[in-house]
Structure 1
Amino acid sequence: MNKYFLLFLGLSLSFLSCSDDDGIRNGDTPDPDPTADVTAQNFMWQAMNLWYFWQGDVNDLADDRFASNAEYTEFLEGYTDPESFFYDTLLYGEDRFSFANEDYSELVSSLSGISQSNGLEFGLGLIGDTNNVFGYVQYIWPDSDASTRDIQRGEFFTRVDGVQLTVDNYSNLLFGDNSTYTLGMATVTNNTISDNAKEVTLTKIENQIEDPILIAETLDVNGTKVAYLMYNRFLSSFNEELNAAFAQFVADGATELVLDMRYNPGGSVNTSRLLASMIYGTNTNDLYIRQRWNDKIQAQLSEDYLTDYFASSTGASAINTLNLNRVFVIATGSSASASELVMNGLAPYVDVIHIGETTRGKNEFSITLVDDSGNSFIYSDDREGQINANNSWGLQPLVGRNENADGFYDYTSGLVPTIELGEDLTNMGVLGDVNEPLLARALQEISGAGAKKDFTVQMKAEAFTSSRIQTPLKDNMYLDKPLGLNPEQ
């Protein structure tokens, strides 16, 4: 994982100084009694007081909240459970996305796409007006355990190890400690879900890495070369593979692009910048996004650091770009954070034709924080030995928002589609196939063929959660400017 924010190393001196007596002088942060058992809570408060986007709106995070170290210690001791302290005390009411992980190493691994997985990605919906739950397969990772089993996109399941899924048990049955489980499959007839006898046993494999580029191919649509990219997460570890895919699109003579992010929950901000550059161009004078932090952090940052421009290089190779003036984006309610950032960042320069549904509406970015006060709590892989060995908690709080070149950032209600079309559970189609409904609708716009195909949705896919949201990474958008990156590079 890349190192974060060299210029912030001095912040410890500015914000983390403490007084020698029990009183707290102006500008100092409180310091708990060293004999108190509040290590995790102290880390959480200190880190959130410094970095949290809504720090100024949470009374308990106020710089003048405590008059003495004794009062601060008493406050922390009032919360014996670090997890509830974080979620119930430190978060702003409108914050839907900040989260904590008891094991920061698991969190850090997830940022690189490493997890325990069987390779099955699915959505979960409710059966009628009941609390019973069904799952439907969205796609399967290549070279995963699921890819070797008799299961495919568009299939349904209702049971795990013979137990009906419900809103109360699905989390434990599907995302618990069980590395192996057996799905009880189901069929849909006349919009009614019925169990069948088929069963599929799947095993989660440690340290699985998903290639986020599920499909990258060039289609010939009535003589027009159309690049199709099914991209499922923004992972910086696959930047070169992403650039290579665009090199092939350029070599194929593609003049249109369908960017399919229907299941993409987000990831790396820098990777979103690189993808946007592969689509629009490499003019490094054109602003991609500008960051907005809390008042105390914003005041510490230079304009150069706050602004990100389109890129001409990945850092390892020259950007391969299609230089497009329009792009067709397939996005749904499962598309979030960095996916939305690409759409918003491109909007001032490119005609973004959004096909699908309103997106999730996650316009804030985060950073990974650990108990390393010497690095202002920012995780850096070369400082593992400096992280407090008595505190394994990691935080992924929202620390800022990104606005585009027009100054627009307020899409907490999601980005509304140009052409509304949901997935049909009775006709999911094959991803990448020209007859798959959402891709077919995009190709219809490109070809100008008119309304010759029926896109009526019989049974709309309406997931209340998905397998991708249940990972440590969730729908996080994280800031990962590499050490030494020049914003104009």
Structure 2
Amino acid sequence: MKKILIIFVAAIAFSCSKDDDLSLPNTVDPDGSANVEVQDFMWKAMNFWYFWQSNVDDLADDRFENTEEGRAAYTAFLDSEDDPAAFFENKLQYIQDRFSFFNEDYRELTNSLAGISKSNGLEFGLVRFQDSEELFGFVRYIVPNSNAATTDIQRGDFFTGVDGQTLNLSNYVELLFGENDTYTLNMADFTNGTIIPNEEEVVLTKEEGLAENPVFISKSFTIGGENIGYIMYNQFTNEYDDQLYAAVEALKSAGITNLVMDLRYNPGGSVNTTRLLASMIYGTNTSDLFLKKRYNDKLQDQFNDSQLEVYFADKVNGKTINSLGLTKLYVLTSSSSASASELLINSLEPYMDVIQIGNVTRGKNEFSTTLVDDRENSYLYTPSRVNDINPDNQWAIQPLIGRNENADGFFDFTSGLQPDHELLEDYSNLGILGEENEPLLAKAIELITGQTGKRDYTVQYPINTVSSSKEHSLMSDKMVDDTVYDLKF
């Protein structure tokens, strides 16, 4: 993973005195569970960083006294769950928090944030049969150079089972996202409005280290006298910032004056990459406010305004950004568009006309960061410090640590961002991604050109997913704070 980029003009520098800490170096009771040390890390990291720290009684600063009795009570509390996952969910996570998560191996988590995963490359949605517990899947797209790319499966294909078992609400997680690296999809046809199983099968195998370039499609059209650019962008991954800028540069060279950003399958990612993309689209005035950050009350008071404010950028990896300088942006969304996708829309709204087409977005306006058992670095994961992570504790947590507001102070979209033009995908007419007749892109082109009345956009079989492959990746619904902190804990 490359070095994380600095968002703030100045690094954040403050310290947490030992008087503020529990100072409990001997909390691991030899008679306690082996996970007490892990849960000690979780509690202390969450007590300091968690956005809802003040809402969780067990995370209160005065929850345990710094006395012998208090240390004993603290150790007993840590030992109240024999599984760190249960401890995190049951003792530390705020009831209204939908998105904080954890992983027992920080490497797996950080690889996922870099767009690297164990995957077969099949991206799909799952839909519930009406009045039934059973599900069917539909293929959204195939990741290039993946295992799925070598098989006979494509966008718009359907499946109803795995390894001969019909998918339902109770078994789909185990069958599709369990420990089985290889499974067989039982395929189906769409006939007269009905999904009907057929005899076809597709065998897929998850492979380690699959890296997905999130710039899935980039192309331009000249239609009705309008030069239109289109980018399908499937994750805000900072490792691919150069590729993203190259796509934007190519569209600028092609003379586009309109841009359609397709974020319908984009679950989020890097805040800094979002800022860079916004700068590529709108402008590079570094005096224009991109967002304002709000942390928990304990941390908020430590920051000054310049450290809480993030501005548009004029460079990407040292290269000067030649912005498109647009005043209008068309964005395609679905219920799978989350976090950083929503941040792009919300942060550009004060500056330009953002026309949203598709479905309401996921509704996630908080950001997170990766915390590991590196106590000298305030638990912050820093690639250059992996040797300083406690070798006996490889767990990582990814808690929500703050909330982003746009330049107008707006942040309240936990119910999702509503489209200006609602148009759900239709599983009887998904279309080919990037082709001008694909329904959502066609609608954007119609709005750009003003050539209305030529197409019927009636959705006969609207897609309302209950889950998707992206929702079961570690990157699902993530908005990752890229800030480099300089803290002493």
Q: Distance in 2 between matches of 1:231 and 1:34?
A: 46
Confirm whether residue 321 of structure 1 aligns to residue 315 of structure 2: no
Tell me how far 1:198 sits from its aligned partner: 1.2
Quote the Cα distance in structure 2 between the aligned partners of 1:267 and 1:49.
Answer: 24
**Could you say what the CA RMSD is over the residues aligned between the two structures, in angstroms?**
1.6
User: What residue is the counterpart of 1:394 in the other structure?
Assistant: 396
Which of 47, 50, 55 aligns to 1:49? It is 47
What does residue 146 of structure 1 align with?
A: 148
Question: Which amino acid in structure 1 is aligned with residue 56 of structure 2?
Answer: V
3-state SS, counterpart of residue 480 of structure 2: coil
The answer for the alignment partner of 1:21 in structure 2 is none
* Partner in structure 1 of residue 125 of structure 2: 123
Correspondences of 1:107-256 after superposition (within 5 Å): 107-256=109-258
Counterpart pick for 2:28 among 26, 30, 34: 34
Which one-letter code corresponds to 2:429 in the other structure?
Answer: N
Matches within 5 A, 1:399-414: 399-414=401-416
8 Å CA contact retained: 1:246, 1:320:
no
Q: CA separation of 1:482/1:225 partners in 2, compared to 1, >3 Å: closer, same or farther?
A: farther
Q: How does 1:93-108 map to 2 (within 5 A)?
A: 93-108=95-110
Contact 1:329 1:355 in 2 (8 A): yes
Q: Is the Cα–Cα contact under 8 Å of residues 30 and 69 in structure 1 kept in the other structure?
A: no
Asked if the contact 1:30/1:72 (under 8 Å) is kept, the reply is no
The equivalent residue for 1:22 is none
Aligned partners of 1:482, 1:222: CA distance in 2, in Å?
A: 47
Say which SS state the counterpart of residue 361 (structure 1) adopts: coil
Residue 3 of structure 1, CA deviation: 4.8
Tell me the SS of whatever aligns to 2:432. coil
Aligned residue in 2 for 1:460: 462
Alpha-carbon distance in 1 for matches of 2:21, 2:227:
61
Rounded to whole Å, the distance in 2 between the matches of 1:272 and 1:378 is 21
Tell me the SS of whatever aligns to 1:147.
helix
Worse-matched range after superposition: 73-82 or 305-314: 73-82
Alpha-carbon distance between aligned partners in 2 of 1:395 and 1:9, rounded to the nearest angstrom: 22
Q: What is residue 363 of structure 1 aligned with on the other side?
A: 365
- Tell me which amino acid in the other structure corresponds to 1:45: W
The amino acid that maps onto 2:54 is G
Alpha-carbon distance in 1 for matches of 2:146, 2:82: 41
Question: CA shift at 1:71, angstroms?
Answer: 1.5
Cα distance change on mapping 1:288 and 1:9 into 2, 3 Å = closer
Q: Deviations over 1:53-78 (max 9, x none)?
A: 00011111000111221221121121
Relative to its length, the structure with more strand (as a share) is 2
Q: CA deviation at 1:126?
A: 1.2
Aligned to 1:415: 417
> What is the CA–CA distance in structure 2 between the aligned matches of 1:4 and 1:55, rounded to whole Å?
27
Q: Which residue in 2 is equivalent to 1:352?
A: 354
SS in structure 1 of the partner of residue 470 of structure 2: coil
Report the AA paired with residue 236 of structure 2.
F
What amino acid is the match of 1:55? Q
**Gap change, CA 1:100 and 1:4, over 3 Å in 2:** farther
CA distance, structure 1, for counterparts of residue 300 and residue 408 of structure 2: 19
- Asked whether the equivalents of residues 329 and 354 of structure 1 are also in contact (C-alpha less than 8 Å), the reply is yes
CA contact (8 A) 1:9 1:375 kept: no
> How far apart are 1:413 and its partner, in Å?
0.6
Segments of 5+ residues of structure 1 without an aligned counterpart are 19-26, 485-489
**Any conservation in 1 of the 2:267–2:475 contact (CA below 8 Å)?**
no
TM-score (normalizing by structure 2): 0.94
- Per-residue deviation, residues 320-350 of structure 1 (Å, max 9, x unmatched): 3110000000011110000000000000001
Q: Report the 3-state secondary structure (helix = DSSP H, G, I; strand = E; otherwise coil) of the residue aligned with 2:319.
A: coil
Matched residue pairs, number? Answer: 473
Residue 30 of structure 1, CA deviation: 5.5
Which sits farther off after the overlay, 67-76 or 361-370?
67-76
Of 293, 296, 301 in structure 1, the residue corresponding to residue 295 of structure 2 is 293
Q: Residue deviations 1:224-278, cap 9 Å, x none?
A: 1100000000000000011111111110000000000000000000000000011
Match of 2:429 in 1: 427
Ranges in structure 2 where 5+ consecutive residues have no aligned partner: none
Moved more, 126-135 or 321-330: 126-135
| Letter of the 1:33 counterpart | T
The superposition leaves residues 113-158 of structure 1 with CA deviations (integer Å, 9 ceiling, x where unpaired) of 0001111100011122222111100011112111121111111001
C-alpha distance in 2 between matches for 1:393 and 1:300: 28
Q: Equivalents in 1 of 2:12, 2:329: separation in Å? A: 37
TM-score (norm 1): 0.94
Q: Distance in 1 between matches of 2:61 and 2:454?
A: 62
Query: Within 2, Cα distance between the matches of 1:482 and 1:260?
Result: 29
- Going from structure 1 to structure 2, the CA distance change for 1:280 and 1:8 (only over 3 Å counts) comes to closer
Which of 271, 274, 277 is matched with 1:272 structurally?
274
Residue 447 of structure 2 aligns to a residue whose secondary structure is: helix
CA distance in 2, matches of 1:30, 1:324: 54
- 2:44 partner letter: Q
1:418 and 1:472 map into 2 onto residues whose CA distance is 30
**What residue identity is the alignment partner of 2:22?**
T
Q: Which residue of 2 aligns with 1:263?
A: 265
2:333–2:360: 8 Å Cα contact kept in structure 1? yes
